[in-house]
């Protein structure tokens, strides 16, 4: 497997409300969801790679994710608590791209490889991946002809049962329906072992942003911080690539 350029991790709806014992269903797929999520998040943070968090704030009365009726439910689970510097987006529909500026954030960061994790596989995760692919959010290059890759990490997503269909079946079919058409499929261990290349800072774009939106929008300190992070990422990733052989 070749190096994955300009990667980022997208966490969708990793929230306390999904722990309700009956609201979503009696059984959930993938018991390893939380530990795998924690491992991936630690991996991306240690490599100083971009992390995006999305939270669902439902407008449906009675929802476990309603921000005023159940504020504890919209909180992020311990394994997915955002840290300073990590972008957080709030949505109230299935797609993480509707009503948010996630698309702009991905494009501005120059992301070419997007690893997606979270809840639920067949709903918000699937909808976000499908829409991201249709929007070509990872397309770059002159004329926008170079397409990046969205990856669903199949053991770092989960869902509940649907009617007569058990949770694991729904999970497996949902992942299979995305593979090849909208995303590629990986597992946590694969992502951690694969060589990946940190995003490169586009200084021209950063300074253009200052010119067009004013210095309060993009500070020089932000540019320096990003540059330092990129250098650190390169060092970390170089050592990883020397220690780990690419998977076939």
pLDDT at 214: 41
Q: How many residues does the chain have?
A: 248
Of the listed ranges 21-25, 115-119, 133-137, 190-194, the least confidently predicted one is: 21-25
pLDDT at 22: 82
**Crossing angle of the two packed helices 126-135 and 167-178, in degrees rounded to 10:** 10
Mean pLDDT (the chain, rounded): 83
Reduce the DSSP state of residue 89 to 3 states and report it: strand
pLDDT at 216: 40
pLDDT at 61 over 80: yes
pLDDT at 157 over 50: yes
pLDDT at 225 over 60: no
pLDDT at 45: 97
Residue 42: alpha-carbon gap to chain centroid? 13
pLDDT at 4: 81
Regarding pTM above 0.85, the answer is no
Helix (H) or strand (E) holding 104: helix 102-108
Angle at 48 (CA atoms; ends 146, 135), nearest 5 degrees: 30
In the predicted model, what is the mean pLDDT of residues 199-226? 43
pLDDT at 207 over 90: no
CB 50 within 8 A of CB 191: no
**pLDDT of 70-117, one tens digit each?**
999 999 999 999 999 999 999 999 999 999 999 999 999 999 999 999
pLDDT at 1 over 50: no
CB 93 within 8 A of CB 125: no
Q: Tell me what percent of the residues of the chain surpass a pLDDT of 90.
A: 69
Helix (H) or strand (E) holding 54: strand 51-56
Reduce the DSSP state of residue 45 to 3 states and report it: helix
pLDDT at 197: 64
- Cα–Cα distance between 141 and 147 in angstroms, integer? 8
């Amino acid at each position: 497997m070749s190096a994955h350029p300009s990667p980022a991790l997208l966490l969708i709806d990793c929230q306390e409300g999904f722990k309700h014992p009956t609201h979503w269903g009696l059984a959930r797929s993938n018991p390893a969801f939380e530990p795998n999520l924690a491992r991936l998040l630690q991996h991306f943070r240690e490599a100083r790679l971009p992390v995006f968090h999305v939270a669902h704030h439902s407008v449906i009365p009675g929802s476990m994710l309603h921000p005023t009726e159940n504020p504890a439910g919209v909180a992020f689970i311990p394994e997915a608590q955002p840290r300073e510097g990590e972008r957080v987006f709030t949505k109230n529909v299935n797609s993480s791209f509707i009503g948010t500026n996630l698309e702009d954030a991905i494009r501005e960061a120059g992301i070419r490889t997007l690893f997606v994790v979270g809840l639920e596989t067949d709903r918000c995760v699937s909808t976000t991946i499908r829409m991201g692919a249709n929007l070509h959010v990872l397309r770059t290059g002159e004329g926008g002809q170079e397409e990046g890759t969205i990856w669903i990490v199949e053991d770092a997503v989960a869902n509940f049962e649907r009617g007569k269909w058990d949770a694991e079946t729904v999970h497996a079919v949902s992942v299979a329906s995305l593979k090849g058409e909208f995303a590629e499929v990986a597992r946590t261990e694969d992502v951690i072992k694969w060589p990946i290349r940190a995003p490169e800072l586009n200084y021209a774009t950063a300074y253009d942003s200052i010119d067009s939106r004013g210095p309060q929008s993009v500070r020089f300190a932000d540019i320096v911080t990003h540059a330092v992070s990129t250098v650190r990422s390169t060092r970390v990733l170089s050592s990883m690539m020397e220690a780990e052989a690419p998977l076939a």
